[in-house]
Amino acid sequence: MNKTDNYKELFNENFLMGPNSLRLLDEMLEKYPIENGLRILDLGCGKGLTSLFLAKEMNAQVFATDLWCSATDNFKLFKEWGVSDSVIPIHADANDLPFANEYFDIVVSIDSFHYFANQPHFFEEKILPLLKPSGTAIIAMPGLKTEIHGSEPQLILDWINGEESEYELFHSLEWWKEHIGKSNGFEIIKSLELSNLGSAWNDWFLTKHPLSIRDSEYFKLGVDKYLAMVGFVIKRI
């Protein structure tokens, strides 16, 4: 049985905020297994599903950090789920994180990195210092199959309500490689398009959240032909 099946009762509108982050995280950990018992920053944790998974499945100490979701609300969930001793809820902006340098073995960012990491040198300036020597960042997020040059497809613009700034969040694997860049301080050791784009989005559609119903309608119209899930594993050197 897939590990994510243990959490199916949580795949509903109360906890999912888009494509199922747990499926994305699980696939990344299949591609790049990590040790148990590490200290992990879960950056952009949302309602805490990925933090729950890391605490339960990896016996990790997790700092569940999000800007949009209340740390108090997440703490209540962590108590209900029986992981409040190992998951610490934090309310913080990814551009102003309150952590010591070299504090984390792993930084995880699932379905969130594209919201705050579009500015140049973000990874090198904001994430890399937090990693211990030889520490690793594991990132997965929605993106594009290929960069679209020229006029954006009308279907995508309709999907995002014509907000071209929202469209700027979505990029291809190659674009992100270039954007993350190269450095003497880190190495991209794995980059890939994830295979579970369909299942991750379908879990969201099944919640019947009003936004998920709208997304589902646009997928039926073919917006998914432009989309991908892109993933990176980046190691501090």
Mean pLDDT, range 112-116, rounded to an integer: 96
| For the chain, percent of residues with pLDDT exceeding 70 | 97
Domain boundaries, the chain: 3-236
What does the pLDDT read at residue 162?
A: 61
Residue 1 has pLDDT above 60, yes or no: no
What band does 3 get if pLDDT is binned at 50, 70 and 90? confident
DSSP one-letter code for 199: H
Calculate the average pLDDT of the chain.
95
* Predicted TM-score (pTM) above 0.85: yes
150 vs 211, higher pLDDT = 211
What is the distance between the alpha carbons of residues 102 and 135, in angstroms, rounded to a whole number?
8
Question: b vs e for 163-189, b when ≥16 Cβ sit within 10 Å of the residue's Cβ?
Answer: eeeebebbbbbeebeeebeeeeebebe
Partner residues linked to 43 by β-bridges = 65
pLDDT surpassing 90 at residue 34: yes
Q: What is the pLDDT of residues 162-194, one digit of tens each?
A: 666 677 899 999 999 999 999 999 999 999 999
Query: Would you list the DSSP string of 17-50?
Result: -SS-HHHHHHHHHHHS---SS-EEEEET-TTSHH
> Tens digit of pLDDT for each residue in 214-223?
999 999 999 9
- Residues 145-160 have a mean pLDDT of 85
Give the fold, CATH level 3, of 3-236: Rossmann fold (3.40.50)
Backbone phi and psi for residue 220, each to the nearest 5 degrees, phi listed first? -65, -30
Q: How far apart are CA 90 and CA 66, in angstroms?
A: 7
